[in-house]
């Protein structure tokens, strides 16, 4: 309940600053680079895009035994995440809907020592972007919809082994030129399992999003850390922090792209026997603006 209250306070703050001084500054025309930066970092964007990110973890938290020492294992996560907008009149509902599946390939510690690479679970949200409040007047955008987790992992340690569904909610504020701040909150809950030995899942997931234009095509980014809080007794809680630099790339004959590198550190963990300590994220996002124009009938 405290977390839900905090989300409400955050939305009220964004709503308050939107119509005021922040929006007055928003009248300034954004450069092409700043518009692209916001589109690339906005999880509620209607710009069709594909994110490829590799997260390398050279140091982990975990137990050490004579057979194996998790702290010495180097783990990795490769994700491929398309953002697929469905824009009226090509939707069943009178709202823009955003479909975001995340395909993962993870390198995890092995029970026999060392590591192995497996496919992970498939999380996905289907969010409807609400037409109110008016983003042009407030700078605030809100999305709501369902989230799912499909147990596609190819090993027990690479996934949770549970079919999950729950609510998803997001808020993004862009009322100040060059600044994007917001979040995506999800809470998938398990309702079926691949094995009777699999524990029930009920996890609150919070993705803070922050992007600040620096100069020319460079920007400051913090959007790769996902906070997780398990509601069940002794379920893991992990609160990582990330920050890094990104750069937009626009070349004739090529789709717009963005490259970024961020560092990530586990600021807090509880009941998580194995967790990343430090992580380096390397990412590439490719946009397809022609698809948005085609889907919207332009």
Give the pLDDT confidence of 75-126 residue by residue, as tens digits. 999 999 999 998 776 677 788 999 999 999 999 877 666 778 999 999 999 9
Residue 256 in this model has a pLDDT that exceeds 50: yes
Q: What value does the mean pLDDT of the chain take? A: 87
Q: Specify the higher pLDDT residue, 102 or 71.
A: 102
Q: Is the CB of residue 283 less than 8 Å from the CB of residue 264?
A: no
Residue 174 in this model has a pLDDT that exceeds 70: yes
For the ranges 59-68, 102-111, 156-165, the lowest mean pLDDT is seen at 59-68
Give the pLDDT confidence of 208-252 residue by residue, as tens digits. 999 999 998 999 999 999 999 999 999 999 999 999 999 999 999
288 burial (CB, 10 Å; 0-12 / 13-18 / 19+) is middle
pLDDT of residue 162: 97
pLDDT of residue 9: 47
Tell me the C-alpha distance between 86 and 81, whole Å.
16
**What pTM does this model have?**
0.85
Percentage, residues of the chain above pLDDT 90: 65
pLDDT band at 33; cut points 50, 70, 90: confident
pLDDT of residue 296: 60
Q: To 5 degrees, how large is the angle CA 204–CA 209–CA 32? A: 150
- Short-list 189, 214, 203, 280, CA closest to 237: 203
Tell me the C-alpha distance between 218 and 196, whole Å.
50
Give the pLDDT confidence of 269-286 residue by residue, as tens digits. 999 888 899 999 999 999
Q: What b/e string do you get for 153-162 counting C-beta neighbours within 10 Å, with b at 16 or more?
A: bebeebbbbb
What's CA 237's distance to the chain center, in Å?
17
Tell me the C-alpha distance between 159 and 178, whole Å.
38
- Short-list 163, 32, 158, 28, CA closest to 106: 158
- Short-list 285, 280, 282, 283, CA closest to 264: 280
For the ranges 19-33, 135-149, 155-169, 228-242, the lowest mean pLDDT is seen at 19-33
Q: To 5 degrees, how large is the angle CA 8–CA 14–CA 18? A: 145
pLDDT of residue 194: 94
């Amino acid at each position: 309940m405290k977390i839900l209250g905090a989300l409400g306070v955050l939305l009220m703050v964004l709503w308050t600053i939107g119509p005021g001084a922040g929006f007055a500054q928003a009248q300034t025309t954004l450069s092409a680079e700043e518009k692209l930066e916001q589109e690339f970092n906005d999880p509620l964007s209607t710009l069709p895009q594909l994110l490829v990110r590799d997260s390398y973890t050279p140091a982990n938290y975990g137990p050490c035994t004579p057979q194996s020492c998790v702290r010495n294992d180097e783990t990795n996560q490769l994700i491929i995440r398309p953002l697929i907008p469905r824009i009226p009149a090509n939707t069943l509902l009178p709202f823009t809907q955003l479909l975001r599946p995340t395909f993962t390939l993870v390198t995890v510690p092995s029970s026999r020592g060392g590591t192995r690479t497996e496919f992970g679970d498939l999380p996905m949200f289907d969010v409807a972007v609400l037409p109110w409040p008016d983003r042009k007047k407030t700078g605030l955008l809100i999305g709501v919809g369902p989230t799912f987790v499909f147990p596609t992992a190819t090993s027990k340690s690479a996934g949770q082994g549970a079919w999950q569904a729950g609510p998803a909610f997001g808020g993004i504020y862009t009322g100040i030129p060059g600044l994007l701040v917001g979040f995506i909150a999800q809470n998938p809950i398990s309702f079926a399992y691949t094995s009777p030995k699999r524990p029930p899942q009920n996890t609150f997931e919070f993705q803070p999003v922050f992007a600040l234009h620096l100069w020319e095509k460079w920007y400051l980014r913090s959007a790769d850390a996902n906070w997780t809080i398990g509601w069940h007794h002794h379920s893991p809680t992990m609160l990582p922090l990330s920050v890094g630099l990104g750069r937009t790339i626009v070349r004739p004959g090529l789709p717009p792209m963005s490259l970024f590198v961020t560092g990530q550190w586990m600021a807090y963990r509880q009941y998580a026997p194995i967790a990343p300590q430090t992580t380096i994220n390397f990412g590439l996002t490719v946009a397809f603006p022609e698809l948005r124009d085609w889907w919207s009938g332009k």
